[in-house]
Amino acid sequence: MGTVTLGVSIAVPEPYGSLLQERRAGFGDPAAHGIPTHVTLLPPTEVEAARLPAVRAYLAEVAAAGRSFPMRLSGTGTFRPLSPVVFVQVVEGAAACSWLQQRVRDPRGPLARDLQFPYHPHVTVAHGIAEEAMDRAYEELAGFEAAWDVASFALYEQGADGVWRQLHEYEFGAGRAAAGVPAQGSPLDEPAATRT
């Protein structure tokens, strides 16, 4: 049956998600349109396709044990020179993200794995592009602000085309599919406060 590449993340809702995705594309990041704007809980992880039902059931349990929390993004940061990444900072909600990602990767669960770097919640806006473009991303999004209540997280699969597609969204407190976060690309008005 083979393997699938999975990821678990918190979606950045509209209008912020599409705004940051478009800005990422504008900085010249070729991966921008294949990766919905998100805060990672589980980085790309290869698992046996036959284990997908167990993964889904396990994530429903994780969601059932969680509860919604406030998330706030503000300003930029970078992992350079260690890793060629510029990101928008998570300034509120980081502890809840850390709690969640630990449970998603629990050694007793189907998604157990070690991380290459210590966990640091963030929203990537540039990755592996020219230094000048990375500098632009860092400077131009320095005034970015966004806030919302996180009510769910989602399971994604990376296709053969490199595009990440949502398989299921899990609402906190019930493990059921969530309905509160508009899909990225919804035609909503963009608040002026999100532009720098």
Segment holding 63, helix H or strand E: helix 52-65
Question: 57-66, 124-133, 147-156, 186-195: which has the minimum mean pLDDT?
Answer: 186-195
Residue 117 confidence (pLDDT)? 87
- Answer yes or no: pTM beyond 0.75: yes
**Omega cis (within 30) before 107:** no
User: Does position 176 have pLDDT exceeding 50, yes or no?
Assistant: no
| Rounded Cα–Cα distance for residues 43 and 81 (Å) | 20
Question: Which two tokens mark 124?
Answer: 């990537």
Please state, in angstroms and as integers, the Cα–Cα distance from residue 170 to each residue in 10, 11, 25, 63, following that order: 10, 11, 28, 6
Question: Which two tokens mark 114?
Answer: 């070690």
Residue 188 confidence (pLDDT)? 30
- HSE value, Cβ hemisphere, 13 Å, CA-based, for 196: 19
